[in-house]
Each structure stands twice: as C-alpha cells, then as structure tokens.
Structure 1
Amino acid sequence: MVGCCNGLPGMIKYLALYLRSIKSDEEWEMVHQNTQAFISEFCCLVYKELPDYLQPCFIYLGHFLENQLIDPEKLCHLLMMEGLLSTRQSVKGESMMDMTERYLKELARMGVVEVQPEEVPATKKLFKACRFVQGMETFCVSNCEEKCFLKIIDLRQEDCCSLLSSDGPRRLVIYLGKHKVDIPREVSKTIRSLRVVLLRNQHELVSPAKMLNLKEFGVLRVLDFDGIDFQRLKQLPGISNLKFLRYLSFKGCILDELPSSISKFSYLQVFDLRVEGGYLIKIPNVLWELRRLKHLYLPLKFATQNGENLRLNSLTQLETLVNFNTSLCRANDVSTLCKLRYLEAKVENNFPDFKSITSYMRTSTSNECQLHCSIDIIDLDCYANEYSTVLLDFLSCKVLRTLQFKGYIGSLSPCDKISPNLTQLLLHKSCLKQDPMPILEKLPSLGILVLTDNAYMGKEMVCSASGFPRLKCLRLLNLSELQRIQVENTAMPILSDIEINNCQKLDINSIPRFHALLLGKKKKDPDQDISNNVF
C-alpha cells in the first residue's frame, strides 16, 4: 500500500493516520482491496486544500497525459488565452510566465505536480518541464469532467464515443485512433478550446478531417494540433473560418504548406509553427497582417513564396520570436519590435545582417530592456577589421545569453568586454590562437561551453582555481593540436557533464579531475550516444 503512494510524503502520512484508526482484520482487508479509492480520496483532499487561484492551473493540466512532459511556457500561453491567469494575483513586476512558474512551484510543494528545473537557462525560466505526480492525472480528468470543465475523447479505446451535448464542457481533447466520433453541430458551435493529439506508434487512424468540420467551430479560441501528420491525414477544411482564434499550434506536426487565409486570424496572439524537425513547410508572406501577435515560433526549416523574405515589421506587439532566420526574414524588421523580450535568431554568412542584429542588440542594451537573445552565427569569418569591430560590439551586448559562433574569430575580446549574462557558448572552427580559458573562466554566468573543430589551435589550456564558477557542461571536440589541460582542484566546482572526443594529442589520464568524471559517465551509461548539440 505504501508503494501506491508513489513516494509522496503527504500521501504516506495520510495513509499512516488512516491505518492507525483501523481496528479489525475485515477493515484491513477492505482498505487493501480498495487502494485506488484511498488514492482518490487523498487527491480530493489535496485539491480542496488548493487556494482558489491554483485550482484552474491544476485542472487545466487535465489536457495532458499523466507521463507527458508539459512545457510551462505552453501552459502559460494556454492559461492566458483562456482567461485563467489573472493579473490580480501577480506581484509587482511579475510577468505571466513568472506567475505560471510560481503556481507550478506551489503545486510541486503540495505534491500535485513534478517540475524539471532548467539547468542552464537561456531566459529567466525556472522550469524546463512539468508533469503530473503519478495518480493525480486520473483524479484531475474525472474532476474536469465532473465540473464540466473538459471532455476527453480517446479514439484508441473501444468505449471512446460517449455522448456529447451542447450544455457540456467548452473544452475538448481528442486522442486520435482507429475509432471515429461524430461531433454534432450544436456541440461544435459551443467549443472554445480544441486539442487534437496523435500519439506515437498509432498506425490505424481515422483522419480528423472526417470528424471535424472546423467551419462549425465558430467561437473557437484555442486550436492545438499535436503530432498530426497532415500529409497522411489530410488538412482540415474550414480552418480559415476561425476568425476569433487566439492560439494556434502545429508543434510536432507534419505540414507541407500554410494557407494564405491565415491572414484572417486578426485576433491571433500565439502562433506555434515548430513542425516536426526535418520537414520543410512553405509559409505565405502574410504573417505581418497578424498585428495582435505576441508570441511567434517559426519552424527550423521553411520556404517562402517566390523566395521573398518574410515581412514581420508590423508585429509591434511581439514579445517572443523564435527561429528568426535572416536568410528567410528581413533582418532590419527586428528593430521595429519594441516589445520583444526573447529573440532566437540565426545569421548565416551575411555580414550586413549580422551588423543589423548587432545594432538592434546594442540599442536594446543601452535602453536596459529585459530582452534575452539566443544567437546562432554560421559561416561568418571575421578576418577583416570591420568584421572584428562589429564582433566586439556584438559580444559586449548584455542582452546576449546564448551564442553559437561557427566561423573564424582569431582572438577573443577581454572578459570585461563579453556579456556577463552569457550562459551558453559554442565556438566552431574559430581558430583561436591563444588559450581561451583565462578569458572564458571569468564569465560569471557561463554554464555550457563547447569548443569544437579547431575552435582553439593551441597546445595547452589552463583553468585557474577560481575559474568557471557556474560551468556544468564542457565539450572539447576535434581539437587537433591540444596536448595538455591544467585544471586547478577548485576550478569548475559544479561541473557534472563532460565530453572529450577526437583530441588525439591529449592524454586524458593526465587530468585526474576530468578522468574521474569521464569514467563515472561510462560506468553510468556505457552505450549512451552523447549528442554534441547540448544547446
């Protein structure tokens, strides 16, 4: 019975108090055979103890499966678009994301959810993911349906097709499977939130296009597609009719092309286009018409009509912009995004674009705004003096949090000329002639460092006693000239993850500190294929 408590101190304590009152063998046997009822009773007790402001956050988690990792940022957006986050509960200077994480921290303290800390955050985010504590999901879903908050239809199950009525929940989750459900028109026109999920390894499927006529969902505010293969299951008709849509996500889906009719979504505030990696999606150049947009997540790979760059300069309400590629978007447009708080951008072999991004970051730094930048520079060799000057300006921008630089640098700026807020750094083919460690070890926030493919051309590295106070992850890969690394005993005090590979002249056994960490990793998981991409 203790095993059913899943290690939760509160549930174990409740069980102990409950068992202490039992006086007969018959009562013991009854409790033993009704463990699930006991768990439900405990969950109900915990829920009743939740403050009023936490209850909507908890029951909204019923949209997700028990073992599913939930992105707190996504949860925040959904709660906002549904009007379930109130500024009346915020403290001074607290953003909606801060409030969501505070709620999750309280729920974790009460044993309702588990949170996964962000080890080396590129932003102010505290948590990488959250999920239900085992046993809580079943209670949450039943509570959602009992309160008419949410209806879940699992088309993988035989008994999935329960009756839907117009006076039922305004939120609907459908897990696709081999069965089909017919949603009456009078129900469709009352649904405000629709989440359609395709789980992995589902081979027998009924296309959502055969069940959902989106023309009928006239008041829909939230539409969340998760893992849907639109190449296989066909696109849904009527999506352009959803004129009141606030939230639209195709994250993890396979999608060939967006219709130009998305320009009609004039109320859209969150748009997630991060389709399944490796798939190319064609985007019409109409995103600039979505003037209320606050959070835009572009795909890693996409193409535009006629090869023209995406126009985004009219999105003046934008706070989040992810996968902004200057080869596919107009680099100068970021200068008009005065409310931007997080920028994730890529600049590829284009010095004017690099200069534009640097100018924007410098302006943001001087204005002391709360911008966080994660920048990927590819195939940009800084041989010329003009390039080096711009690079110096770029590195000094305090809004710079994460940097991948793939190209020639030659020499690093002094540590006091590099952003003290830099948390993650990758250098690739940088051909540094002098040991970078005396400079990099003084960066107070650096948590991840990757030097790869002759990023450093010297023979020796030295890490001093007080160096790298926040470093957790170190990668040294394909450094052909490196022969010695001298690491003082008190350097890198919290280093826990290290990989050294293809540094052929380096004797790892001569570095006791690193040798012990590497040996411990091999014993822990000898077959693990460690990805070089730790960003």
Structure 2
Amino acid sequence: MAEAAVTFLLENLRSIVQDSVDKLTKGDEVVKWIEYELETLIPQLDRFAAATDINDKLPGTIRDIIRKAEDLAGTHTKLKIRRGAATFKKAIYQINLFTTTFKLHDARVEISNCRSQLLEKSKTSQSEKLTFPSYLRLLASYFLIFPLNERVPARRLIVLWVAEGLVHPKKHDDKSAEQIARGYLNELIRLGVLYKYDRGKLSINSYIRYGLLEEARNDELLEARRRNGGIRRLVDHIGSSYVDAGDSFINLQRKSTSSMSDYRNVISFLSFNTQEGSKPGEDIGDFLQKCISAGCFLSLRVLDLECVFRPKLPDTLGRLIAMKYLGLRWTYLEQLPNSVEKLFNLQVLDVKHTYISVLPRSIWRMQFLTHLYLSEAYRTRFPHPPSQVTLTALQTLWGAFVDEDTPIRGGLDTLFNLRKLGLSCRSTASKSEEAAVTMVGKLKAIDKWISKLEFLESLRLKARDEDNKAVDLHLTSLKENRRLSKVYLLGKLESIVLCRLPASLTNVTLSGSNLQLDPLEFLGRLPNLTILRLLGHSVGSSQMYCSKRAFPHLKLLWIWKLEKLKDFQVEEGSLRCLEELEIRDCQNLEALPRPLLHMPTLKIKLTDMPQKIEKEARSVNPNVKIIEQKLAVFDEDNSQVCIPFHF
C-alpha cells in the first residue's frame, strides 16, 4: 500500500514542522523527537522507495538530519553542564538547530508532494481500498483516537466500544453487547487488521490505520464537529504521536482555540497525558470543572483518564449522569469525589492501580454497574451495604480485598451474575484466635457463594495471613461452576478438590496449595485444559507422573519452585500437544522426562536448575534454553506477578 506508506511518513513529520517555532528554544525536545521518530522512518523509506515516487536522495537526507541531531544532542548536553563556558558557542548551536529544523521542513514538503501525486493516482485505483466490512471499519477506526503504535488492552477497547454505543445486540440474540464486541475483535484479528500481543494487548496494522484515516476524516467517528458546531469526541494529547483529526484533538497545556460551547455535545473524553508531576492532573481537573460549570459534558458517556497521574476530579462530576464508563486505572488516585454516588447509570468503574481504600456506600445502589475493577495492592474494600442492594447487574468484580470486616453474607453473596471474580483475602487484625476464626468464617462463606455462581467464567482467589503466608482457602468444590474456564488459586487446598473441578477448565494456576498427592493424576483428566501452571509450593509430593492419555490438549506447562519434587515421569504419548515447558528452581529434581526432551517442536526453558539437569538436558536436546541468572525467590505472592492473567 504505497499511499499508506507515504501517509505514514507524512504524519510522522507533521508535528516537528508545526511546532518548530515553539521548540527551537528547547533543544532537548527537538533532539529527542528526531532521534526517536525519524529513525523509524528510514526502514520505511528504503522499503517503499521503489514502489513510490519518493526522491531516492530523501533517505540519505533524513539520515544526515539524524546525524546532525546527534551532534546537537551532545552540544546541548555541554550547554547544560558547562553553561557560560567560553568554549561553548551558543549562537552556533542555535544556527545549527535552525538549519536542522528547516531541513526537516524541506523533507516534509517533498514527502507531501509525493503523497499528493499518489492520491491522484489512487482515485481510479481499487487496489488501495479497504476490503473488510463497514461495520468493522468503524470499530477499527477507534484506534485513530489512540497514540501511534499504542498497544491497547482488549479489555479497554471493548468497554469503550460498548460505552459509546458502537456495538448493538441484535434482536432475538441472547449475546450481550460485550460478547458481540469480542466477536468483532476476534474477526479484526483474523483479518490482519489488528495484531495481538501478550497480556491481551492489541495494535493496528499501520498501513490500514492510515487508510482508515482518510475515511475517518469524513466519518462520524472522528468528525470534529456536528452540524450545530459541537465536538463529539475529545482527546487530550501531548507530543507528536497523534494524527491530525481537527478540533477534536486538544492539548490542555496550551490555549485551546475552541470555546466552551463547542463541548456541549461531547460524548467521550480521553486523555493520554502520561507526563510525571502534578501538572497534568491539575490541568484535567481545571478543564473538567470549567466545562461542567458551563453546562458542558452533560451527554458524556466516557471519561477515560487511564495513566494520568492523580487527576483532580471536581465535586461537580456527579452532574454527568449520562456517564457509562469512568476509567481511572494507573492514576494512583487517592479518593473518589463524593458526587460519584450520583452516577447511577455507570456501567464500568475502573480504579485498579489507585490508592482508593474504600468504595462509596452508594456503590451498592448502582443498578447498571457491570464491571468493577479494584486496587488489590492497595486493598480496596467494600463498605457495608444499605438496606436495599441493587448491584445485581455486576458481571466483573476484580481485585476486591476481603478482611474480617468485609460483608460477605447479605453483601457480596447477593451478586449472582458474576462472570469474572477476583478476591484477595487476608486478615488485617493482630494475631489472635478470634481474628483467625473470623477469617475462616469469611472463607467458608466465599466458598458457599462461589458454588452458586452459575455464570462464572474466570476465578482468582487468594488467601494469606498477616505474614503473607498462604493459608487454607477452605474451598470444597468448583464442580457446579460449569462455565468456568480460567482459575487461579493461591492458598492451601485439599487434594480432593482436584476431583471436583469442572470439565470446562482451559487454564489452571495453583500456588501455595501444598497438595500432598500428585496433582497430574487428577488434572490430566480435564479434557479441555491447555494451560497449567504449578507455582511456588503448590505441590508437596515428591513424585509427579503423566500417564499415556493425560493432558490431550495441554500446550503450556510451568513447574516452579516445587522444593520436594524429585521424580517427574512422562509416559510416551502423553502431553502430545505440549508447546512450551518451563521448569524453574526445582533443586531436588533428579532428571527430566526423556520423552519430553525428544519432542522436536517443544520449547524447553530451565531456570535456576542444578547443573546436572542442565547438562543432561543439553546433551539430549541442544535447543533447551538455559537461564543462567539467579532469580529472586518465587514464593506464592511473587510467582503470581509473572503470569499473564489480567483484567
């Protein structure tokens, strides 16, 4: 796609020219931009030079600019270190800076001319048109809101689509809007429009992005203004990594050319200001306060401030009663404004990775709340419920903290529609028999509650004492949870629980379980299991054995820090679909299973293992990967950080 390639180059060069006057006195910013951005252009120029009308001297010109930029970087460093020194010629530095900037301008003009020529040619060509369906193009175009090359969590993208009303359930279809959105997402991945990475993150094909940009300028998604002059979607941006989408893209740190009346019909406001310090948060707060006070944002559905450091949310936030999504993840916010209790139409509240310790009591009356992400690390607690609880639409409760005072009976156990549940249980009282008895009662109540969650698909349950040691989960069975697919259990388990797992499980992680019987005998019978992680102190047995027909579909197996494991045997024909095996810090293991070492396509990784094991493995299979570095202790808590089980 030659046109898209040239557009890619043009958009990357746009900002340095547009802001050159402001940046000429800020050498650091110019140098960083040139070094980071332009180096990514060289391979693109080389690759598409033959397919376009780009001057063949242009790549060399830009390389020369990069070299000059590096020289400027060194000179500017001297300026800061030896300010006022006679050997430093500041005037010469400024001249060089001007020269480099205007060379960039010339390069930008040349690329712009090439692009214009290609646009003319493409008017009669059908080869450059996007071929995937129009309903998917609108969803893919949402990526134009995000910074260039941004990897967006699938979780975030889906809730944004739904909150903005871009996905509509069909009549006589029992699928929810989110299920439909996930189906669309998978279709975009299959078509190669989106790329999928680890931890559920996505990016868009860069050439398709710029093809979509041409369409989106006239599409409703990035239409800067309605007919009545109002902006619909507003994005606060910093730096040069954004495409030009007109007045809908603003920078709160600069004077905006728009008036307050332009913001009356805004339905979504996203900020990608990830700068450090208090200034971004203060700017956000001032802007929100001014808009709300002026009667704007009253139709706002989405307020997404993910990664903005401690935004100052105004008390008037409660006036935005149309809001469906409030995203505050990674903001380290310390408290929610009291007025948040008035947001009764809220569907998604994300306060993961914040310092919010207690939710407002009104949370129990949010009858439309569907997803609630809490800060497990900071122990976000549920308050005691009022007499009337209407929090019955909740499908995701992730990261909730449970201690002696958490309301389980008559509180959390009234939530029957959960699909995803993540709880961290720990005593916060002093070491006493009374506190221990209370926590046991809470864990037994949780077990009874979980057994009634017929729609549950993902479960993460942790139980630790005040010394951070794994304690008994008091889990008796998960057999009734017939839709359960993913389970992560940190805490001691009775081996009988492994006989009471549903056949629907595809992903199992155990940590601190202290199982006294070989877990593979039971887990190997699960017909759909594809991922199994046995982490720190999960197995107390000295032997593990895989029978011939065990684990018919298992693809990934982790065995971490099983201190008592000595004998690990695998029958021929077992684990026939295994793609990745990682064994870490099992110091007493005497040998690796020979059948696994002879599997030609199996990726084997050994970390912190005895040299005898490593040497033997390498002699049989030279492709075994040995991690030489000594790693930190992988106890129950540390091991969970390393697994990609996030929402």
For the criterion TM > 0.5, the same-fold answer is: yes
Q: Which residue does the alignment assign to 1:290?
A: 366
Q: Which residue does the alignment assign to 1:505?
A: 588
- Aligned pairs for 1:254-333 (under 5 A) are 254-275=332-353, 279=355, 281-302=357-378, 308-309=383-384, 313-327=389-403, 329-332=406-409, 333=411
1:517 and 2:604 correspond = yes
Q: For 2:492 and 2:393, how far apart are their aligned partners in 1?
A: 36
Q: Which residue does the alignment assign to 1:103?
A: 184
Q: Which residue does the alignment assign to 1:372?
A: 457
Q: 1:523 to 1:413 in 2, by over 3 A?
A: closer
Q: For 2:52 and 2:143, how far apart are their aligned partners in 1?
A: 34
Once the two structures are aligned, what percentage of the paired residues are identical? 24
Q: Which residue does the alignment assign to 2:233?
A: 171
Match for 1:285: what amino acid?
Answer: R
Structure 1 residue aligned with 2:539, among 456, 470, 479? 456
Q: For 2:201 and 2:526, how far apart are their aligned partners in 1?
A: 27
1:405 and 2:489 correspond = yes
Match for 1:71: what amino acid?
Answer: P
Q: For 1:439 and 1:324, how far apart are their aligned partners in 2?
A: 30
Q: Which residue does the alignment assign to 1:180?
A: 254
Q: Which moved more, 1:337-346 or 1:479-488?
A: 337-346
Give the total of aligned pairs. Answer: 479
Q: Is contact 2:582–2:605 with CA below 8 Å preserved after alignment? A: yes
Instruction: Look at both structures and tell me which one has the larger radius of gyration over its CA atoms.
Output: 2
- Aligned pairs for 1:187-226 (under 5 A) are 187-199=262-274, 207-212=283-288, 213-215=290-292, 216-226=296-306
Q: Is contact 2:527–2:551 with CA below 8 Å preserved after alignment? A: yes
Q: For 1:237 and 1:527, how far apart are their aligned partners in 2?
A: 51
Q: 1:30 to 1:325 in 2, by over 3 A?
A: closer
Q: C-alpha offsets along residues 52-76 of structure 1, whole Å, 9 cap, x if unaligned?
A: 4323212223222342222334333
Q: For 1:355 and 1:50, how far apart are their aligned partners in 2?
A: 51
Q: 1:356 to 1:418 in 2, by over 3 A?
A: same
Q: Is contact 1:449–1:473 with CA below 8 Å preserved after alignment? A: yes
Q: Which residue does the alignment assign to 1:60?
A: 142
Q: Which residue does the alignment assign to 1:17?
A: none
Structure 1 residue aligned with 2:475, among 374, 391, 396? 391
- CA drift at 1:444: 1.9
Q: 1:521 to 1:63 in 2, by over 3 A?
A: farther
Q: 1:442 to 1:267 in 2, by over 3 A?
A: same
Partner SS state of residue 305, structure 2: strand
Q: Is contact 1:402–1:425 with CA below 8 Å preserved after alignment? A: yes
Q: Is contact 1:361–1:399 with CA below 8 Å preserved after alignment? A: no
Q: Which moved more, 1:312-321 or 1:261-270?
A: 312-321
Q: For 1:443 and 1:362, how far apart are their aligned partners in 2?
A: 19
Q: Which residue does the alignment assign to 1:160?
A: none
- CA drift at 1:39: 9.0
Higher helix share: 2
- Aligned pairs for 1:242-261 (under 5 A) are 242-261=320-339
Q: For 2:261 and 2:578, how far apart are their aligned partners in 1?
A: 59
- Aligned pairs for 1:143-182 (under 5 A) are 143-147=215-219, 149-150=221-222, 167-176=229-238, 179-182=253-256
Q: Structure 2: any 5+ residue segments left out of the alignment? A: 7-49, 57-110, 240-250, 428-438, 466-471, 607-621, 633-637
Q: Which residue does the alignment assign to 1:132?
A: 204
Partner SS state of residue 363, structure 1: coil
Q: Which residue does the alignment assign to 1:351?
A: 440
Q: Which residue does the alignment assign to 1:23?
A: none
The two structures, once aligned, show a CA RMSD in angstroms of 4.1
Partner SS state of residue 391, structure 2: coil
Q: TM-score, normalised by structure 1?
A: 0.76
Q: Which residue does the alignment assign to 1:420?
A: 503
Q: Which moved more, 1:314-323 or 1:279-288?
A: 279-288
Q: 1:203 to 1:490 in 2, by over 3 A?
A: farther
Q: 1:146 to 1:466 in 2, by over 3 A?
A: same
Match for 1:517: what amino acid?
Answer: I
Q: For 2:390 and 2:564, how far apart are their aligned partners in 1?
A: 50
Q: For 1:355 and 1:440, how far apart are their aligned partners in 2?
A: 24
Q: TM-score, normalised by structure 2?
A: 0.64
Q: For 2:479 and 2:407, how far apart are their aligned partners in 1?
A: 22
Q: For 2:269 and 2:203, how far apart are their aligned partners in 1?
A: 20
Q: Which residue does the alignment assign to 1:241?
A: 319
- CA drift at 1:463: 0.8
Q: Which residue does the alignment assign to 2:571?
A: 488
Q: 1:229 to 1:39 in 2, by over 3 A?
A: farther
Q: Which residue does the alignment assign to 1:70?
A: 152
1:335 and 2:413 correspond = yes
